[in-house]
Amino acid sequence: MNERNLAGLAAAVLQPGFVGTTPPDWVCRWLGDGLGAVVLFARNVADPGQLAALTATLRAERPDVLVAIDEEAGDVTRIESVAGSSRPGNLALGAVDDPALTEEVARDLGADLAALGVTLNYAPDADVNDNPANPVIGVRAFGAEPDLVARHTAAWVRGLQSAGVAACAKHFPGHGDTRVDSHHDLPRIGASRARLDAVELVPFRAAVAAGVQAVMTGHLLVPALDAELPATLSPRVLGDLLRDELGFSGVVVTDAVEMRAVADRYGFAGAAVRALAAGADAVCVGGEHADEAAARHLRDAIVTAVVSGELPEERLAEAAKRVGQLAAWTVAARAGRPARDLPDADGSPIGLAAARRALRVSGAPAGRLPLTTPAHVVEFVPPRNIAIGPETPWGIGEPLAALLPGTTTVRLAETDLPADPVAGVDDRPVVLVVRDLHRHDWMRAAVDRVLADRPDAVVVELGVPALTAGRVHLATHGATRAGARAAAELLAGLG
């Protein structure tokens, strides 16, 4: 095969990102030359009308283009990054533990994505978050119990795909039991093969059984499966395990290849080539390297690897074929469906109802709730999670002030923490808002100081509720707009 044809195959397996709210010229040109997909980020989304116009422009260049997005709902949202997700995330759905509700929420999200022109969603997160110290998964997982995660993963896949949008279970073979974020370094999962079968792999088996169209790899070193290569680059993990043992026949997508877990060791082009050789079908890139030069660098590296024999031509052709089959699935899934209105600013009523069901109150709320006067809210701000992104707003103060006018809010990070976070508050009700209190010593110490002086303070946990603090503790199981509104309603006596 000549290099021009090889370049077309190489472009077919790329899923690059770009900057801007309209497709740049290079993306449109590449779609005509064989580019199979693009991935959208929050930076590409201003409002529903703009996003629908963007995807229509892409589809005008190539009708079957895969338009991917990382829309988990919950804390990780791209289509609602301006206001926060109007749907609860996985941990909240797992706390309710009603698979029918999970399926309904995912179907509702899928309908919105389909209306916006998105055809592939990098979700659900199928990780079992059984390590409370995990810095990157947390509320993105349905929970810490394998069977619970499995039944909700399957329900989420069924719901999303019933709306005509392909689901992508991640991060194979399981990112839950780690203290390391693969954006920064290579996590090592020390579990035995028996443990992997009993825990990490259970939800992925359920996803495959539910007909998931894609699986995303995790940049994870799992010695029980491969002592040398990260899962994304390992034929043992992608071929022997995912294809042969689990029977998955859909598209294998890499997590972003510029992430330091693989890029620091192999270069992001080297990681892409190795991933394709190992059995991946599509290469996600563009969170950081989001221009034509980066895409060209990857495409040319893939072509060079085929010419040199490092990457068999048959493997590249197989990968491109699978991507084409997924594109055909999305076209067929959209065919004949009635048009749905674009999402409005109020968000999802189904999501708000689900968030209300996910609230959990512990302690002695009688006599402390509801709040009947304006409160003082202290929101403790942890270091940002790269997967969630810095642009998505969160917190209880604003929705609570809408219900209790006069409520005030301060936001405090570790670097600007005063000795007394509630100095001068007098006798107003105090609400302490935390995210993953159990993971941040400084936050826990500050909360303890406030509770020593104000034992009547209410603690609201927006992260994983692994640590219960205060006489009244409210857990939302996620820092979403829906969860915040539900919590504010409960605090104000409207829930």
Catalytic residue numbers read: 183, 255
Please check whether residue 434 is in contact with residue 459, taking contact to mean a CB–CB distance below 8 angstroms. Answer: yes
Maximum alpha-carbon separation in the chain: 78
Sorted by sequence, the CB contacts under 8 Å of residue 5 that are 6+ apart come out as none
Nearest to 425 by CA among 442, 443, 407: 407
CA nearest to 191, candidates 201, 203, 181: 201
Q: Is 298 left (phi over 0), alpha (psi -120 to 50) or beta?
A: alpha
What single DSSP character describes residue 312?
-
Helix (H, G, I), strand (E, B) or coil at 321: helix
How far lies 159's CA from each of 5, 100, 156, 463, in Å? 38, 9, 5, 25
Alpha helices in 16-98 (DSSP H): 25-32, 48-61, 90-96
**What does the CA dihedral 354, 356, 362, 365 come to, rounded to 10 degrees?**
-170
Instruction: For residues 353 and 92, give the distance between their C-alpha atoms in angstroms, rounded to a whole number.
Output: 12
User: Residue 434's closest CA among 450, 423, 418?
Assistant: 450
| Helices (H) then strands (E): counts for the chain | 17, 14
CA dihedral 222, 225, 229, 234 (to 10 degrees): -120
Within its chain, how far is the Cα of 182 from the centroid?
Answer: 14
Rounded CA separation 67/197 (Å): 33
Q: At what angle do helices 349-358 and 481-491 cross, to 10 degrees?
A: 60
Cis peptide before 365 (omega within 30 of 0): no
3-state SS, residue 128:
coil
Structural tokens at position 390: 């810095």
Tokens at 56, concatenated: 């229509």
Contact 397, 409 (CB under 8 A): yes
Query: Under a CB-based contact definition with an 8 Å cutoff, are residues 245 and 216 in contact?
Result: no
* Strand 283-285, strand 408-413: pairing: unpaired
State both tokens at 231.
Answer: 């899962």
Say how far apart CA 77 and CA 376 lie, in whole Å.
28
